[in-house]
Amino acid sequence: MSSKSFYSEIRRNNIKTYFLMFIFFILILVIGYCLKLIFSFAGFGILFFAGLFAIIFALIGYYSGDKIVLSTSKAKPIDEKNPKHKYLDNLVEGLAIAAGIPKPKVYVINDVSPNAFATGRDPKHSSVAVTSGLLELLNREELEGVIAHELSHIKNRDIKVMMIVTVLFGLIVMVSDIAFRSLIFGGASGGGNDNKGGILVLVIAIAFVIFSPIIALLIQMSISRKREYLADASGAELTRYPKGLASALRKISSIDRPVASASKGSAHLYISNPLKRKKRNLFSTHPPIEERIRRLEAM
């Protein structure tokens, strides 16, 4: 496979991510304008204070989220005396050197369901966790593909990207909630729009603000799926063997057993949906396994 195939896939997914984030910002500007129509001068004040709170909460999660995720996932540091754990540690170290990033801390989750995730705010503060089931199921080439995928999340700073997306999503949810409560208890000022056209615009603005969290969630999930495609392509570029990751994904998806310690809050971090829900929809955090395998085999 040529380097051009790797890089074109990486570039395409990055462009799609940036475009979706641009749409996110446009959505926030439109919401700000709608708030101005609904509450007159108070609209942008609501946007400012909601944004401030969203940023504060996101920063707390950004700097302490990895510890929380590792703890709730029941991830334990590797046992140096365990040959499989030592093998995993050496594999992570070798691929980290190849990727040009510091070696992340390595953890194992005692669970038969095969899965893995990476977390950490930057390459210097990162961790990789795999389940014991993954170590038992995969051969060397497949395990390399999975680890390369997770290291790519770290190298691509996906935690930082998703933190920004979380801030934007949290901002929209807060604004929508504040606006909805204000409408119930205080009503809309409407900026003096008392003609039929003005009332229609006001109704559309109110509806848009109320339903904006759904639009924001669709964008957030779409960005999450694009970062998975990006990590697949970057991981394949790292190992130079996309079929290894494709084979690993095929094996992982064949076992319909959830990771016991996984939750909806941490599901997006895993290489495959740890909740093992087969039904796919617009709100899925992961793209279809079949499509990921097809893209990898087509590289």
Query: Cα(50)–Cα(191) distance, rounded to whole angstroms?
Result: 21
Q: Which residue has the higher pLDDT, 216 or 148?
A: 148
pLDDT of residue 290: 94
Q: What is the pLDDT, as a whole number, of residue 31?
A: 81
Q: What is the mean pLDDT of the chain?
A: 85
pLDDT exceeds 80 at position 183: no
Q: Write the pLDDT tens digit of every residue in 214-267.
A: 988 888 888 889 999 999 999 999 999 999 999 999 999 999 899 999 988 788
Give tens-digit pLDDT for 53-83.
767 777 777 777 788 889 999 999 999 899 9
> Mean pLDDT over residues 87-92, rounded?
97
Query: What φ, ψ does residue 177 adopt, rounded to 5°?
Result: -65, -45
Please say if the pLDDT value at position 206 is more than 60: yes
Better pLDDT: 112 or 66: 112
Query: Would you say 26 and 20 are in contact if contact means Cβ atoms under 8 Å apart?
Result: no
* Angle, in degrees to the nearest 10, between helices 83-99 and 140-155: 50
Q: Kindly report which listed range (49-63, 86-100, 128-142) carries the lowest average pLDDT score.
A: 49-63
Domains held by the chain: number:
1
* DSSP code of residue 270: B
* C-alpha to C-alpha distance for 176 and 107, rounded to whole angstroms: 39
pLDDT at residue 174 above 70?
A: yes
Q: What is the pLDDT of residue 253?
A: 93
pLDDT confidence band for 187 (50 / 70 / 90): low
More confident residue, 93 or 184: 93
Taking 60 as the threshold, does the pLDDT of residue 149 lie above it? Answer: yes
Tell me: pLDDT of 195 over 60: no
Quote the percentage of the chain above a pLDDT of 70.
Answer: 86
Residue 188 has pLDDT above 90, yes or no: no
State which residues form the domain around 253.
Answer: 3-298
Distance CA 107, CA 118 (A): 10
Q: Between these two residues, 80 and 9, which has the higher pLDDT value? A: 80
Which residue numbers are catalytic?
Answer: 150
> Pick the residue with more confidence: 182 or 6?
182
Give me the phi and psi of 152, to 5 degrees please. -65, -35
Closest among 82, 80, 79, 102 to 92, alpha carbons compared: 102
Least confident span in 6-10, 12-16, 222-226, 263-267:
6-10
pLDDT for 280 equals 64
Q: For the ranges 120-129, 159-168, 213-222, 277-286, which has the lowest average pLDDT? A: 277-286
Phi, psi of 131 (to 5 degrees): -85, 155
Which two structure tokens, joined as six digits, stand for 173? 């949810």
Residue 209 has pLDDT above 90, yes or no: no
